[in-house]
Amino acid sequence: MPKSPLPPYVSPYTGTLLAGVDEVGRGPLAGDVVAAAVILDPQNPIEGLADSKKLSEKKREGLFEEIQRKAMSFAIARATVEEIDQLNILHASLLAMKRAVEKLSVQPEFVLVDGNRKPQWHYQCDTVVKGDDRVAAIAAASILAKVTRDREMVELDRVYPGYGLAGHKGYPTKAHMEALARLGATPVHRKSFAPVRRQLELI
């Protein structure tokens, strides 16, 4: 991985069945929260892994394909808008990460979770703050999750034109807020999020 300003994370697990898991989409007003889990293959290294937010779209797209070719195992999962509204975004994010790890075709012996909260599960695991900058497997997971979600938002932009979803990916930009006020909420907007809830109250 490229050098990080943070100290490298040293895992207590020294085997090869180590999964990294990360989620994308906690902050947007619309769309699912998407998570990915990756077990990298030490015999098939991938250059250039980093926090997906710090990579160009072109670089992310290239790594997205390479990770799927070279990883020992990977899986992508989600929690829906309905689950976000029901559970809250934190618990929906943890659920998406749990689903991603459980979907792995090769089950890990140890899991590293980005952030400081871990799902309720039976896996041995550790949390790593800013793990997508410090752990290659988490960085790979962040790339899979972000590219998947970004592509979905481009598709949703075609279904719900006028909101600019392809550009801001559902985040509360000025343009998105103005479109929300002008057009109202769609079925893919998170009703439990304050800007959307306020708009619905005006109807």
The answer to whether 85 is annotated as binding is no
List all residues 6 or more positions away from 144 whose beta carbon is below 8 Å from its beta carbon. 36, 38, 64, 67, 68, 74, 76
The answer to whether 22 is annotated as binding is yes
Find residue 37's DSSP bridge partners. 21, 75
Q: Give dist(CA 138, CA 37) in Å, integer.
A: 8
The answer to whether 32 is annotated as binding is no
Q: Give dist(CA 162, CA 64) in Å, integer.
A: 29
In contact, 76 and 34? CB cutoff 8 Å: yes
Mark the binding-site residues, compressed into ranges.
Answer: 22-23, 114
Mark the binding-site residues for a divalent metal cation, compressed into ranges.
Answer: 22-23, 114
